[in-house]
Amino acid sequence: MSHSHICCLVHVVFSTSDRRDTIGHEMESRLHDYLGGIARTNGMEAIVVGGTSNHVHVLLSLPRTLSIAKAVQLLKSGSSKWVHEHFPASQSFSWQEGYGAFSIGSSQRASTMRYIQNQHEHHKRITFADELKKFLAAYQIEE
């Protein structure tokens, strides 16, 4: 039995290349499910996955042995490969190089889950670019 106990919750956000609307409605829920599967396979828990046609949010619980950078790399590379295999018309699909990763406390878990689950409604009022700027400001990260 391991004597290391951690709770590492990270809200990860990444967009499609050039923030293009390349995640179609028929792809979206399957892609979100697949991202959850990638997480499970690699010892993470994707507590909730959401997004819109040009970006994805994932609330991850990371194991002690996996860095954020490695977790995001696994999610992005695995899902990109899956899109190419299962959606032949989406051969130009790719993720943008960067990502955002924001630590959250256990007390923020429920509100973060609601936020991720309501992405379509949220983005009727704010663009992804403006959303990201708000995250960076809230976490005091320079663009």
pLDDT, tens digit, 9 for 90 and up, residues 20-69:
999 999 999 999 999 999 999 999 999 999 999 999 999 999 999 999 99
SS (H, E, C) 71-137: HHHHHHHHHHHHHHHHCHHHCCCCECCCCEEEEECHHHHHHHHHHHHCHHHHCCCCCHHHHHHHHHH
What are the backbone dihedrals phi and psi of residue 64, each rounded to the nearest 5 degrees, phi first? -65, -15
Q: Across the chain, which distance is largest between two alpha carbons, in Å?
A: 48
d(CA 13, CA 102): 9
Locate 42 and state its tokens: 């690699």
| Dihedral of alpha carbons 98, 12, 141, 20, sign | positive
Q: 92-143: per-residue pLDDT in tens?
A: 999 999 999 999 999 999 999 999 999 999 899 999 889 988 989 999 998 7
Three-class SS of residue 18?
A: helix
Q: Is 3.30.460.10 the CATH classification of the domain at 9-138?
A: no
Q: Which sequence spans correspond to the domains of the chain?
A: 9-138
DSSP string, 27-70: HHHHHHHHHHHHHHHTT-EEEEEEEETTEEEEEEE--TT--HHH
- Please say if the pLDDT value at position 2 is more than 70: no
pTM to 2 decimal places: 0.93
